[in-house]
Amino acid sequence: MSQEPFAGRAAVLIEDHLAANAAIADTAVWQQAAEDCVMMRIQSLRLIGGLPHHKAPLAEEVRIRRLKDLLRLWANGCTCAVDEDLFADLLKRKRS
């Protein structure tokens, strides 16, 4: 699977968030879109050894910061960047 869709989607999400950062509703919509983008990326990766499921859940502020950081990396071409703690948190939240 091509890495380009994730880099492009990540760039759009970062750009949209910077433009509409003030509204709470926009932030919630952005967060959901960012999490969906990361979940699609997780499904396309072959993670040897799996993800640590014993990690503590991330606080919302930490999750949003990590989403921004990871999407920024992907938007700048670092599409192989992985945040195991964020991945584990998103997977755990999506399962419950």
- Model-level pTM greater than 0.85? no
Helix (H, G, I), strand (E, B) or coil at 54: coil
Q: What is the pLDDT of residue 21?
A: 52
Mean pLDDT of the chain: 77
Nearest to 9 by CA among 90, 74, 86, 60: 74
Residue with tokens 């970062």: 14
CA–CA separation, 66 and 64 (whole Å):
5
**Residues, the chain:** 96
Residue 17 has pLDDT above 60, yes or no: no
Residue with tokens 């910061």: 65
Q: What is the pLDDT of residue 61?
A: 92
Q: pLDDT band at 40, cuts 50/70/90?
A: confident
